[in-house]
Structure 1
Amino acid sequence: MSRTITDLADIGLDELNRTAALQTRVDRKYLATPAEVRTFLGALPADSRVLTIAGIREFRYVSVYFDTPGQDSYLASARGRRRRWKIRERDYLDSGMRWLEVKTCRGERTVKQRLQIDVAERGRWSAGDRHEMHRALSVCGMPSVPLDALAPRLNTSYLRTTLVEPGSGTRVTLDRRLIWTSADDVRAVRLGELTVVETKSAGMAPGRVDHLLWSIGVRPHRFSKFATGLAILEPGLPHNRWHSTIGHLRSRLREGRPETAAATMRSESS
């Protein structure tokens, strides 16, 4: 029988974090059409579950990514350096919470560390926040990131649904209505109808969910919400690493006004 999101059992946030927190993980990213998403959901194992909080299953996210004046974070990704980092503030609009997140990569493995913050102005971090950021970067061999020089570089917003495949503990996120907005609020670009599907697993080998996506013709893409989005907004940046992906997306991208994009996200309901 073909399944939809409404057919899946709930999983709460505490249980999700116990069974599939995956703060250290391997990510694979896919770009799927609405028809492919429906086929994928219909083929999921029957015991798959969907994150549900207060009856909500699709959540509104807004993220602000930070970089140095020399664009060290972006260029590390663009040049395929083995050690890479991203720093962002993420707002969970449905809960009213804001988190400061540090993501570091060593090869294919991603480590995410985060702390809850309560600041009105972007980047106004406390000494304690900066200490934790420095510690997270140092553990992964990047102690020299100039935290005092960081400034907002890119904004993203989207709607996210999170699934768990209990057999393997794989976490799957489905992000739709993705909007990239320049940090100066001059330009906004929408991804269109495509959904960004990410699988997050503890092991290096592709899991059952990855094989399921492959079986319906959905293949991994080299994609980063931060780096690919910035390359789309600023085509003069080095972007060979995402050239194929951007070419695949080009006909689906839609220009929009930043103020309209922000208002749309604030007004979305699950």
Structure 2
Amino acid sequence: MNIPSRPLEIDRCLLDRFDPITLERMDSIRLMNRIETKYVTDILLLREILEDAQRQGYLVFESDGERIQAYDSIYFDTSDLRMFREHRRGKLVRQKIRTRVYLGSGLCFLEVKKKNNHSRTRKKRVGVPPDDFLDFREDPEACLWLASHSCYQSCEIFPSVETMFNRITLVNKNLTERLTIDISVTFKNLRTSSEASLGTAAIIEIKQDGRLGSKMKDILLKHRVKPMRVSKYCLGVALTDPKVIPGRFKSKIRFIDKLNKNRYTICYNPVLHRPL
């Protein structure tokens, strides 16, 4: 598995051109019930996209003077990867369960993301002690919270894939839209111990309360970046478990591999695998 020898970098001077937005102002646009539109591009084109976003008045989230935040997440799944398989076969109503720690602040959360058949994503989360990050299942309060917010019980899920990435968060000047840009995305499969990286790829996600107009969508259209349904968790499973058939994720992996060109190569071998 080839992983970049150094983290991908965005020119800090470019981010410094943006006006900042604080966490307090961000609270009004958390968008826990939202429509998400995702895109994948490479870091070179991302610089041009950021330049256009700055000219359009987008604000950048800043915390303790930092405009790029580091995230670490652990996704949980059943022993037969039910959540992954439901997404792979295109089931509209589905869930994902994860713990997430914000490495800058040390804050840790247990989160449940639910997708409904109207393409809306609803996220619920609760703060948990940092010791729960790797495995919350020994925490009675966390298990009770999960039982009341998910169709899964803590006894039927296990740590599956760890994802680490750096994130830039932008907000439009009307405070009606938030978008996240994830770079330096890496995976570690906690069942197979395999690791993978998305290399130079950047995942952009626009989050809105409805299908409103978006200057960022116009910017991405200008740069010929098209929407792509993609899940970091599912990519992580497909890239790090040789027993898994990638299915609908195979074309996305190939697309990301092309983005990387000769800079880095993500590990994907198109061999036949046994279906789950």
The TM-score with structure 2 as length reference comes to 0.83
> Match of 2:7?
none
What letter is aligned with 1:6?
Answer: D
Q: Which one of the candidate residues 49, 65, 71 is aligned to 1:40?
A: 49
Q: Deviation of residue 60 (structure 1)?
A: 0.8
What letter is aligned with 1:127?
Answer: P
Alignment partner of 1:114 is 2:125: yes
Q: Which one of the candidate residues 35, 56, 64 is aligned to 1:26?
A: 35
> Match of 1:97?
107
Q: Could you list the runs of 4 or more consecutive aligned residues of structure 1 that deviate by over 6 angstroms after TM superposition?
A: none
> Match of 2:87?
77
What letter is aligned with 2:22?
Answer: G
Q: 1:68 to 1:32 in 2, by over 3 A?
A: same
> Match of 1:264?
none
Whole-angstrom CA distance in 1 between matches of 2:195 and 2:240: 8
Give me the CA root mean square deviation: 1.9
Whole-angstrom CA distance in 1 between matches of 2:240 and 2:213: 31
Instruction: Give 1:152-167 correspondences, 5 Å limit.
Output: 152-167=159-174
> Match of 2:145?
132
- Structure 1 unaligned residues grouped into runs of 5+: 138-142, 256-270
Post-superposition Cα deviations, 1:111-140, rounded to whole Å, max 9, x if no partner, equal: 111111005251335333223222222xxx
What letter is aligned with 1:195?
Answer: A
Whole-angstrom CA distance in 1 between matches of 2:57 and 2:114: 32
Q: Deviation of residue 38 (structure 1)?
A: 1.4
- Structure 2 unaligned residues grouped into runs of 5+: 1-12, 268-276
Q: 1:242 to 1:26 in 2, by over 3 A?
A: same
Answer whether contact 1:222 1:242 (CA < 8 A) is retained: no
> Match of 2:200?
193
Whole-angstrom CA distance in 2 between matches of 1:198 and 1:235: 28
Answer whether contact 2:56 2:215 (CA < 8 A) is retained: no
Post-superposition Cα deviations, 1:9-63, rounded to whole Å, max 9, x if no partner, equal: 1111111111x11111111111112221111111125421111111011111110
State the percentage of identical aligned residues: 26
Answer whether contact 2:74 2:98 (CA < 8 A) is retained: yes
The TM-score with structure 1 as length reference comes to 0.85
Whole-angstrom CA distance in 2 between matches of 1:206 and 1:155: 34
Whole-angstrom CA distance in 2 between matches of 1:135 and 1:208: 38
> Match of 1:204?
211
Post-superposition Cα deviations, 1:209-255, rounded to whole Å, max 9, x if no partner, equal: 11221111111112100012211212442332222211112353446
